[in-house]
Chains A and B, each alone.
Chain A
């Protein structure tokens, strides 16, 4: 690119395109490990996040420590939305179509112990699925910020 020429229309369009591409790449690499693969890919892609979401919901509804807030809840819908959420937050090719974590959990009065129990369940599921420590930690790190919206008690 010639110096100063970026003010012309054609060049500025080209610059913008390059900038957009660059920021897209920067965004993608933010979610990728040194191998260039996103956490989503490293945990096993769609099949893995679907299985993790499904197992987590099934376990949380059965576990007396967390069953309380799941009563009468349409679980299939939660599994679909949680799968979208996990896919999206781990850098997978999904959009999350559900409500915000704050709206989803508002009024449920979830306490720290309940949240910790869920985290423990998730950790066990990931161990069972043979995920390495690094992926397990990254997954927990990705989900940790939701705590401020989930725990209200």
Chain B
């Protein structure tokens, strides 16, 4: 009862905070070429001229039952990503992607140093020991991004008013696709339908 009250109170406080600022909320509904919701698709807005500031918090990319969780992530450039290894067996995470080349040996019960993703781009991760493991990290030069849920809805909260470049990405497209410019007004709640023609991605089971 008490916990429930706290949760409601926290929710109300958050809602209050969001509406008092001048920030806007943008929701994209992303579908694939056949009109199906594209779960795991990334949407982000960037403004090359604005100093968006680095809001990069540490992100987590776990290893659960020999699978990366989540398989698709988006982070701001400079974000340290932790690999907690809930499997508690050995993994060897690697990337050959130019945006971040690294190898990280994960051992049972030995926490590893986080990896800082310091350049924008698409980073594909694998595991040397378990060849079915695959994950994608999109590193973007903006803190304003969202990832589509099972219904294809990606929400970006707290965007300051301004003119932004809108982009979308999914492992089924090579590089982020530009969707032109959008104007964000203060406290606006904006929605947009987006289509992304993707090719099937082997190994992407739970985006």
Residues of chain A at the chain B interface (Cβ within 8 Å): 71-74, 77, 99, 103-104, 106-108
Contact = CB atoms under 8 A, between A and B. Distances in A.
A107 B90 contact: yes
A138 to B, nearest CB: 29
Given A107-B87, A108-B89, A72 B131 contact: yes
Contacts, number: 35
Contacts of A73: 129-131
17 contacts: A72-B131, A72-B132, A72-B133, A73-B130, A73-B131, A74-B130, A74-B131, A77-B128, A77-B129, A103-B107, A103-B108, A106-B90, A106-B107, A106-B108, A107-B88, A107-B108, A107-B109
Interface string B84-118: 00011110000000000000010111000000000
Contacts of A108: 89
A77 B128 CA distance: 8
A99 B107 CA distance: 10
B66 interface: yes
Interface string B163-195: 000000000000000000000000000000000
Given A72-B133, A104-B90, 14 more contacts: A71-B66, A73-B131, A74-B129, A74-B130, A74-B131, A77-B129, A99-B90, A106-B89, A106-B109, A107-B87, A107-B90, A107-B108, A107-B109, A108-B89
Contacts of B90: 99, 103-104, 106-107
A21 B130 CA distance: 43
A63 to B, nearest CB: 20
Interface string B113-140: 0000000000000011111110000000
B18 to A, nearest CB: 42
Contacts of A71: 66
B89 A74 contact: no
